Amino acid sequence: MGVVEFAAAKTLASSAVFLFITVLLIASAKRTVSCIVLFAVQCAVITAQIVAMASLRHSGDAVAVAVMVLLVKVLAIPYALLRVSARLKVSPKVSAATTPAQSAFIAAALILLAFAVVQPYARDFALDSEMLAAATAMVLTGGFLMVSRRKALMQVVGLLVLENGIFLLALTTTFGMPLVIEMGIFFDLLIWVLLMGVFIFRIRETFAHVDVSRLRRLRG
Amino acid sequence: MTLGIDVIQVLLLIVIAPLLRGMIGRVKARIQNRRGASVFRPYADLWKLFRKEDLVPLTASFLFRLCPIVLFAATLAAAAFVPVLHASSLLGNTGDFILLVYMLALARFFLVLGAMDGGSSFGGMGASREALVSTLAEAPLLLAMIAIAIVSHSASIASMVHWTAVRDPFQLSPVHAFALVALAMVTIAETGRVPVDNPVTHLELTMIHEAMVLEYSGPSLALIEWANSIKLTLMFTLLIGLFAPWGIAASLSFFGLGIAVATFALKIAILIVALAALESGVAKLRMYLVPQYLGIACAISVLAVVFTVFAR
C-alpha cells in the first residue's frame, strides 16, 4: 500500500469526526462570521474526502467535483457571505432563539439521533455508518439552524449546511452523482446564494433590520 | 528503576512549570509585537517572593497561612498521577483519574477558603466566581475522562495513556475527538486563561484568580503562583498523554527516554504557541457567558461518553 492510498484511507476514516465537530461548533457559534468560516472549514473537509475517494477509485469525475467544491463552497460562497455580512452593518450576533449551550446540546442530540437512525440502514447496505450519520446530522442541524436563528443570513448558512448534508449523503450512498448533475447543483447553489444576498440587502433597506421573526408583522 | 523514573517525572513537572508560564508570556509578547520579559522571569519572581515577609491581614485566622500549603501539596499530589516520559506514574497504582480530578478540586477548595479568610471584598468576589466556574467545569472534566476510561477499559491514567500510545495515530475515533475538544475547553477554564479569566491583570473588576490572591504576599503567594503554574503544566501533560502520547518511552532505555523528552518538549511547545495565539486573538468572555462556554464543553463531553457505545 502506497503512501497516497494510506493517506486517502485515513482521510476517509477520520473525516466524519471532523464533520461532527464542525457541526457542533456551527451550532454553538455566537457570531455569524464564525459560522461562515466554520462552514468553509466543513466544505474543506468534504473536499479532502472527495479527493481521497478520487485517488482510491482513480476517477477523473470525482477530481472535477472536488475542484468545484473547493472553488464554489470553500472560496466563493463564504467570500460572498462574508462580504454581505460586512456590508449589512447590523449586529454581528446570530441572535438565536436558544443560548449557545442549549444549541450545543440540541446539536449533540441531533448527532446521536442521526447515529441511531442510520445504524440498520448502514448494516443492510454495508456502508460507512459514521459518514452516513455525519451526513444525516448535517441535514438535521441545518434544519435546526434555519428554524432557530432569526437573522436572514443565518438561514442561508443553515440551508447551505443542509445542502452539504444531502451532498454527502449522495456521495456515501451512491459514490457521487453524474458530473453534469453535480455541476447543475453547484450553479444552482451559487445563483441561490447571490439572490439571497440581494434579497437580504432589500430586507434591510426596507425594514432597517434582517430579523426574520419580525417579518411576521407584515400580515394584512 | 520504574520508581526512579516516576520520581523524575513529578520533579520534571514541578521544575518546568514556571518556565512554561514564562514561555507563554514571551510568545504572547512576540505575537503582540512586544519584546517581552525573559522566559526565566517566573523563577526570579518565585525566588524573590520566597525571601519576602509574609503579611497576614488582622482579621485572618490560621487558615490563611495553611491554605497555600494545602493547595501546593494537593497540586503536587495531582501531578504525581500524570505520566510524562514513561507510561507509569508515582501514584498510578494508588488512585485513578477520579482521584486526580478531586485532588485538583481539593486544591481549589482551599484556595477559595483562603481567599475568603483574607477578609477583603475582592477575595470574596473572586472566591465565589472561582466556585461557580469550578462547579461548572467539573462535569465536563470528569465526563471527558470517563469517556476515555470506557474505551480504554481502565481507570488508571497510566494505562489509559499506554492504551492510546500503542494505537495507530491515524485511527481517530469520535470519542477521542470529542473528549479532546471538551478537555481543551475545560483546561482553559480550569487554569484561568483568557476567554474565561485574564491571568495578567490585577486591576479588573472581572478578575477571578487575581482577586483571590490579592491579600497574599511573600512565600504564601509564591506557593500559590507555583501551584498555579504546576496545574497548567499538569493539564497540558494530561492533554498530551491522553490524546497524543506517541513517542512516550515504552521501555526505560536511554534512547527511548531521549525520544520521549524530545517529543514531549515539541508537543508542549505546540500547545504553548496555540494557547498564546488564542489568548492574543480572543476577547475575554463576560462573566455571565462563562456558564454558556462550559455548557458547550459539557454537551461535547456528554456526546463523547454516549459515543463510546458506537466505538469500534
Top pLDDT among B133 and B287 is at B133
Top pLDDT among B18 and A214 is at B18
**Residue A219 falls inside a structural domain:** no
Complex-level ipTM beyond the 0.90 threshold: no
Question: pTM value?
Answer: 0.87
Measured in angstroms, the CA of A14 and the nearest CA of chain B are apart by: 6
List the single residue in A with minimal CA-CA distance to B304.
A108
| Surface of A (115-174) touching B: CB under 8 A | 115, 129-130
Chain B residues touching A116 at Cβ < 8 A: none
Whether B295 sits inside 8 A of A102 (CB atoms) is: yes
Q: In this model, does residue B22 exceed pLDDT 60?
A: yes
Q: What is the mean pLDDT of chain A?
A: 85
Whether B295 sits inside 8 A of A10 (CB atoms) is: no
Pick the residue of B170, B288, B294, B303 with the most A CBs within 10 A to test the interface with A by mutation. B303
Chain B residues touching A115 at Cβ < 8 A: 307, 310
Q: In this model, does residue A22 exceed pLDDT 70?
A: yes
pLDDT, average across residues B112-116: 93
- What is the predicted pLDDT for the residue at A123? 85
Q: Which of B171, B177, B296 sits opposite A28 (nearest CB)?
A: B296
Q: In this model, does residue B282 exceed pLDDT 60?
A: yes
Q: For chain A, what is the domain count?
A: 1
Q: Which segment of A202-211, B147-156, B158-167 scores lowest on mean pLDDT? A: A202-211
Per-residue pLDDT tens over the stretch B82-107: 998 888 888 877 888 999 999 999 99
- What is the predicted pLDDT for the residue at B168? 76
Per-residue pLDDT tens over the stretch A149-175: 888 888 889 999 999 999 888 888 876
Give the domain extent around A173: 2-89+96-214
- What is the predicted pLDDT for the residue at A91? 77
Q: Which of A174, A202, A160 is nearest to A74 (CA)?
A: A160
Measured in angstroms, the CA of A188 and the nearest CA of chain B are apart by: 33
Q: In this model, does residue B154 exceed pLDDT 60?
A: yes
Measured in angstroms, the CA of B304 and the nearest CA of chain A are apart by: 10
Per-residue pLDDT tens over the stretch B214-242: 889 999 999 999 999 999 999 999 999 99
* Chain B touched by A93 (CB under 8 Å): no
